[in-house]
Amino acid sequence: MEALLDVRELDKHFGGLRACDRATFEVEEGKIAGMIGPNGAGKTTAFNCVAGFLKPDGGLVRFDGEDVTGLPPHRMFAKGLVRTFQIPQELDTMTVLENLMLAGEDQSGEAVWRTWLRPGRVRREEEALEARAHEVLEQTQLGHQAYIRAGALSGGQRKLLELARALMAEPKMILLDEPGAGVNPALIRLLSEHIRELSQRLGLTFLIIEHNLDLIRQLCDPVVVMAQGRVLDIGAPDEVLANPEVQAAYLSGQRT
Ligand SMILES: Nc1ncnc2c1ncn2[C@@H]1O[C@H](COP(=O)(O)OP(=O)(O)O)[C@@H](O)[C@H]1O
Ligand SMILES: [Mg+2]
């Protein structure tokens, strides 16, 4: 059976720099895959090429059996592949519920003019959006925070809200770029539990870039290791971390 996400020979260049250099990996449905590698390895670039925020210079991205290479983010969102973002400060004054509704609206690529032309339909869509937002609030156990401002959330709840915003798309797959960055170990554990639960309950597939190897070990299998734009190894966490080539890449990465 074909993997849910299949990335073949992905190339992305910035001037003379090969940020992704024939990177090849796949993620099967229902897995929580990790992506590790030294700084500058091309992890974020690969993510952005997959989620549509960057156009690859070469290679193939297949998602859910379709060639989606180079599709823009809102098309990927509609197909069920989303990446999370930090919540911008401007959204701090909005409630958690409003944040979710906005995320559902934003990325659908809809135009404002429709409000004028089809007010009835827009109202129905608003209602559907709100219903979906409440569903997501339950899934992420943020239900009791629906009407508080995003700016008043704790660090951990804010991370959950980032995840919840991605869930608005009813995605098949979520990409997370360093969810553990700047988060204390207790919150990392909590976030890991939420991710695992969402994966089990909703059958969601994850791909997670993370520096925290504890989180990777607890949560991810397989782990994709990138170095200098290429995929060095893919396998179970203990397996790839025991690979001398991977260890060497990390050591040389740390010196730069
Ligand atoms: N928009 C960009 N313009 C130019 N160079 C970039 C850009 N984005 C990333 N790079 C370079 O591409 C390489 C890979 O970066 P990145 O994908 O962010 O790595 P990682 O996420 O693994 O740390 C780095 O050398 C980085 O400086
Ligand atoms: Mg990065």
Cα 48 from chain centroid? 10
Q: Could you state, in order of their start, the residue ranges of all structural domains in the chain?
A: 1-80+171-256, 87-169
Task: Give the pair of three-digit tokens for residue 111.
Answer: 């135009």
Residue-wise pLDDT for 109-143, tens only, equals 554 555 566 667 777 778 888 999 999 999 998 99
What pLDDT is recorded for position 116? Answer: 60
User: What confidence tens digit (pLDDT) does each residue in 171-211 have?
Assistant: 999 999 888 887 888 888 888 999 999 999 999 999 999 98
Cα Rg, the chain, nearest whole Å: 19
User: Is 73 touching ligand 1 by the criterion CB < 6 Å?
Assistant: no
Query: Closest residue (by CA) to atom 6 of ligand 1?
Result: 14
Residue 108 carries which side chain, given as an amino acid letter? Answer: S
Q: Provide the Cα torsion 77, 3, 199, 242; round to 10°.
A: -120
* 85 Cβ inside 6 Å of ligand 1: no
CA-to-CA separations, 40 to 17, 32, 54, 59, 254, in angstroms, rounded: 11, 23, 16, 20, 11
pLDDT, residue 183, reads 80
Which CATH number is correct for 1-80+171-256, 3.40.50.920, 3.40.50.300, 3.90.1330.10, 1.10.3720.10?
3.40.50.300
**Where do we find the tokens 């969601």?**
204
- Ligand 1, closest atom to CA 226? 22
2 neighbors 35 (Cβ within 8 angstroms): no
Beta-carbon count within 10 A of 57 CB: 15
Q: Worst-scoring range by mean pLDDT, 35-49, 50-64, 99-113, 200-214?
A: 99-113
pTM above 0.75, yes or no: yes
34 vs 9, 79, 201, 224, 252, CA distance in Å?
19, 22, 19, 6, 21
- Asked if the model's pLDDT at residue 108 lies above 60, the reply is no
Query: What's the 177 CA to ligand 1 centre distance in angstroms?
Result: 13
Our answer on whether the CB atom of 228 is closer than 6 Å to any ligand 1 atom is no
In the prediction, which pLDDT does 52 show?
94
Distance, in Å, from the CA atom of 115 to the CA atom of 123, rounded to the nearest integer, reads 9
Between residues 214 and 21, which one has the greater pLDDT? 21
- The percentage of residues in the chain with a pLDDT greater than 70, rounded to a whole number, is 93
Q: Is 19 in the pocket of ligand 1 (CB under 6 A)?
A: yes
What percentage of the chain reaches a pLDDT higher than 90? Answer: 68
Ligand 1 centroid–CA 42 distance in Å is: 6
What is residue 112's predicted lDDT score, i.e. its pLDDT? 52
Please state at what angle helix 155-167 crosses helix 96-106, rounded to 10 degrees. 30
pLDDT given for residue 117 in this prediction = 63
Q: In this predicted structure, what is the pLDDT of residue 255?
A: 47
Helix (H, G, I), strand (E, B) or coil at 25: strand
User: What pLDDT band is residue 85 in, cutting at 50, 70 and 90?
Assistant: confident
User: By the 8 A CB rule, do 63 and 75 touch?
Assistant: no
| First and final C-alpha spacing in the chain | 41
Long-range contacts of 137-141 (CB under 8 A, 24+ apart): 137/96, 137/97, 137/100, 137/164, 139/164, 139/167, 139/198, 139/201, 139/202, 140/164, 140/167, 140/194, 140/198, 141/194
pLDDT at 241 over 90: yes
Measured CA angle at 74 (ends 72, 79), to 5 deg: 100
Six token digits for residue 177: 């770029």
Q: Give the model's pLDDT for residue 256.
A: 44
| Averaged pLDDT for residues 234-256 | 86
Site to probe by mutation for ligand 1, drawn from 10, 36, 45 as the one with most ligand atoms within 8 Å of Cβ, is 45
